[in-house]
Amino acid sequence: MSKPSEQASRISSINNQTLTELLGQMTLDEKIAQLLQLAVPFYEGAEGDGLITGPMESLGISEETVRNSGSVLGMAGAAETINVQRVHLQNNRLGIPLLMMADIVHGFKTIFPVPLAIGCSWDLELAEQSAVIAAKEASVSGVHVTYAPMVDLVRDPRWGRVMESTGEDPYLNSEFGRAFVRGFQGTDLANDMDRVAACVKHFAAYGAAEGGRDYNTVDMSERQLREFYLPAYKAALDEGCEMVMTSFNTVDGIPATGNSNLMRKLLREEWGFDGILISDWGAVKELIAHGIAADESEAAQKAIQAGVDIEMMTSCYAKHLSELVENKEVDVALIDEAVMRILTLKQKLGLFDNPYRAADPEREKEIVFCDAHREAARELAVKSCVLLKNEDVLPLKRNGKIALIGPFAQSGDLLGPWSWTGSKEDVVQLADAMKSKLNSSAELVVAAGCDFETATEAQWVEALAAAEAADVIVLALGEHSDMSGEAGSRANIQLPEVQLELIRKLEELGKPIAVVLFNGRPLDLHGVYDKVDAILEAWFPGSEGGLAVADLLFGDANPSGRLTMSFPFSVGQIPVYYNAFNTGRPQGAPDAQVKYVSQYLDIPNEPLYPFGYGLSYSLFDYSEAQISSDIMTADQSIKIAVKLTNKGEVAGEETVQLYVRDISGEVVRPLKELKDFRKITLQPGESCEVEFELSESQLRYYHSDLKHYSDAGAFVAYVGPNSKVNTELPFKLTK
């Protein structure tokens, strides 16, 4: 067996040829094999000899096809990836290296908060930094491409995958999408070995699955698609994102993976995307179940014609493309084009020069989960938590007796979905983190109270005893990580009944209760917000989440997160989101006597906690906002300013938000749209002037002809702490 260095020199001879020449040397079968991507079980890793061992028969393909495949899914670890690459190169006639792709979604070994939580930080720099660190750890472990960022716009918290997105706003999702791409890729993938290529997903509109049920139908007008759902994918591509992944859903009646209108026309022709388009897991073959292909051959034909380059985890291409070419049903040029894109990314990543790239078992030990990375994860976790309610309970005092109760008190399940490379054993648990904060006169009593969905009598008894003896109760509740994420849709998005029961039992004691929530979606908080004194939404905060939460609970840090997805009042309102349209009727409060208004008879229209909302231990005061002119022209922007003062007793960070409403559009316009924001840190008593500049380009939208431009006419701007701000600053756009 040759050593990595010998292999590398064999490969560099290929580097002197152009990729086109390389393509010219490939047989049709070798080309088609490049388009196949299989997961780790097909390869024997570091323990073995790196050979292919997986269940090829189940896919109906030969070992030779797998040997010639172009990429691997879900492999990580320097020793393992080096081994697999080395054996692959020995067996590959032309010595074309494998691309190692994996889901590094919110951290590699150092796990950051889930993306929805990162969104709530409104902190683009820290978001970028989290991707820089994830890329560095992944890269040294042999990963070349991450399947991130996921930028699907989400409005339905029943959908378990909302935790992978940064929320319900197209502008914010675009900014985060860009930040993640910058962090993962840097600016020079060929030379910056600490970066990985990014793959934006899931194209397109996966977040709009009907009923919030995963994989379900998506159907919407093209105008809606372009206005709300597409901008974040486009932003990621504008930032240079190398790859795109298809979504599982239909778009206008055609599953995305076989949708030429979406992929060929829009993504490739209109947007000019020339990178690799990969199917989602099994999505090519799923064209059959969707009902647009009779068999695997037709599925392969539709997907390649739609522009899908790599087929993930099924073998429609491997089994049928050759015959489809022979029968002239697929133009071989489509296959050449797909292979060229794959070879081009390999070249861009420097794999022809060094197929092992940054993989290095020694350096891996130094870098992965190092202290500096963990510190960054803690900082971002602190910024991601959202204080939803606080009636004189938080921050906690460091003396006296605290009862910490709940299934998350001593749980390592703080990483959340899509953290397969992380380890629950590394997580700093909340109880340990809280203990480290107490002084000698204080006591922390810990009891589970219940498991996630069940409880024993002994658990109740223990919890009640702990609570009775305490001055204050901290309840660590939520959803375990399998209750969200892929295939984690829920129709009832309240806390599991047993946890609500725990709250009811403890409430009877009449002691102050602060709830910390760990979960992957906005919840229906009935049975929580109406029964407890404080709620801190911690999401799945990652490896250092326990410490971050303890920092916030004891006031060593001040909560600054702001929701980027509305918390519904009840599941019956869903979808409920801030940038909705008005109706022709007044929006009512529940009142059965008032007929013919747009209301529910039983619940308010408003969400429980709106987009942009979050409390702080500081008290921020907004002076009356000023607008520099009530006329904006195409080349003359306007300025909007507000004086912000911290009237509280501790330093804190506020997120000042700028919204706009277009009063009279050609098509109806949202009641508010986020246009800009600033994060401002103020000491107690300190003030500062926060100024925004608003220009014509920010007022553009998709008209009924699908063209993107602004309308002259009346607008209203709003500056404030969340999307409920209602002080109007009218202005006009003249053209």
Residues known to be catalytic: 280
Which of 247/354 has CB closer to ligand BGC? Answer: 247
- Which amino acid is located at 389 in the chain? K
- For every residue of 132-153, DSSP letters joined together read HHHHHHHHHTT--EE---B---
- Here the tokens at position 316 are 């429609």
Which of 313/571 has CB closer to ligand BGC? Answer: 313
CB of 540 to ligand BGC, least distance (A): 17
Q: Is 711 an interacting residue with respect to ligand BGC (CB under 6 A)?
A: no
- Here the tokens at position 539 are 């999401």
CB of 247 to ligand BGC, least distance (A): 8
Under 8 Å between Cβ of 181 and 346: no
Under 8 Å between Cβ of 163 and 419: no
CB of 246 to ligand BGC, least distance (A): 10
Query: Cis omega before residue 610 (within 30°)?
Result: no
Q: How far apart are CA 547 and CA 504, in angstroms?
A: 28
Q: Which SS3 state, helix, strand or coil, does residue 561 take?
A: coil
CB of 485 to ligand BGC, least distance (A): 10
Q: Is 242 an interacting residue with respect to ligand BGC (CB under 6 A)?
A: no
Question: Pattern of binders to ligand BGC over 585-624, x per CB under 6 A?
Answer: ----------------------------------------
* Residues within window 51-80 making contact with ligand BGC, judged by CB under 6 A: 73
CB of 735 to ligand BGC, least distance (A): 43
Q: Is 103 an interacting residue with respect to ligand BGC (CB under 6 A)?
A: yes
CB of 259 to ligand BGC, least distance (A): 17
Name the residue among 616, 614, 474 with its Cα closest to residue 533: 474
Which of 72/299 has CB closer to ligand BGC? Answer: 72
* Residues within window 516-535 making contact with ligand BGC, judged by CB under 6 A: none
Q: How far apart are CA 448 and CA 436, in angstroms?
A: 19
- For every residue of 636-664, DSSP letters joined together read B-EEEEEEEEE-SSS-EEEEEEEEEEESS
* Residues within window 405-464 making contact with ligand BGC, judged by CB under 6 A: none
Which of 110/165 has CB closer to ligand BGC? Answer: 165
Q: Which of 44, 123, 280, 711 binds ligand BGC (CB under 6 A)?
A: 280
**Longest CA pairwise span in the chain (Å):** 83
CB of 719 to ligand BGC, least distance (A): 37
Q: Is 31 an interacting residue with respect to ligand BGC (CB under 6 A)?
A: no
Q: Which of 171, 271, 281, 529 binds ligand BGC (CB under 6 A)?
A: 281
Which of 147/569 has CB closer to ligand BGC? Answer: 147
Q: How far apart are CA 196 and CA 388, in angstroms?
A: 36
Q: Considering CB under 6 A, how many residues would be counted as binding ligand BGC?
A: 7
CB of 486 to ligand BGC, least distance (A): 5
Which of 271/281 has CB closer to ligand BGC? Answer: 281
CB of 335 to ligand BGC, least distance (A): 23
Rg of the chain over all Cα atoms, to the nearest angstrom: 27
Q: Which SS3 state, helix, strand or coil, does residue 272 take?
A: coil
Which of 145/477 has CB closer to ligand BGC? Answer: 145
Which of 189/278 has CB closer to ligand BGC? Answer: 278
Q: Is 201 an interacting residue with respect to ligand BGC (CB under 6 A)?
A: yes
Interior CA angle at 228 toward 239 and 169, to 5°? 80
Under 8 Å between Cβ of 134 and 115: no
Interior CA angle at 691 toward 686 and 694, to 5°? 160
- The half-sphere exposure of 196 on its side-chain side, counting CA atoms within 13 A, is 36
CB of 329 to ligand BGC, least distance (A): 28
Name the residue among 78, 49, 136 with its Cα closest to residue 361: 78
> Beta strands of 42-93 (E only): which ranges?
71-73
H or E element that contains 536: strand 534-537
Q: Is 311 an interacting residue with respect to ligand BGC (CB under 6 A)?
A: no
H or E element that contains 715: strand 713-720
Q: Is 486 an interacting residue with respect to ligand BGC (CB under 6 A)?
A: yes
- Tell me, letter by letter, the H, E, C secondary structure of 1-48: CCCHHHHHHHHHHHHCCCHHHHHHHCCHHHHHHHCEEEEHHHECCCCC
Which of 72/351 has CB closer to ligand BGC? Answer: 72
Q: Is 147 an interacting residue with respect to ligand BGC (CB under 6 A)?
A: yes
Q: How far apart are CA 303 and CA 285, in angstroms?
A: 9
Question: Pattern of binders to ligand BGC over 544-583, x per CB under 6 A?
Answer: ----------------------------------------
Under 8 Å between Cβ of 406 and 499: yes
Pairing of strands 243-246, 626-627: unpaired
Which of 73/733 has CB closer to ligand BGC? Answer: 73
**CA 290 vs CA 10, 217, 249, 319, 528: distances in Å:** 45, 10, 9, 20, 40
CB of 103 to ligand BGC, least distance (A): 5
Pairing of strands 197-203, 145-146: parallel
Which of 161/562 has CB closer to ligand BGC? Answer: 161
> Beta strands of 64-196 (E only): which ranges?
71-73, 99-102, 145-146
CB of 38 to ligand BGC, least distance (A): 11
Which of 313/396 has CB closer to ligand BGC? Answer: 313
Please count the other Cβ atoms lying within 10 Å of the Cβ belonging to residue 665.
17
Name the residue among 51, 62, 138 with its Cα closest to residue 89: 51
Cβ-count burial 597-636 (b if 16+ within 10 Å, e if not): eebeeeeebbbbbbbbbbbbbbebebeebebbeeebeeee
| Binding site residues, ligand BGC, CB under 6 A | 73, 103, 147, 201, 280-281, 486
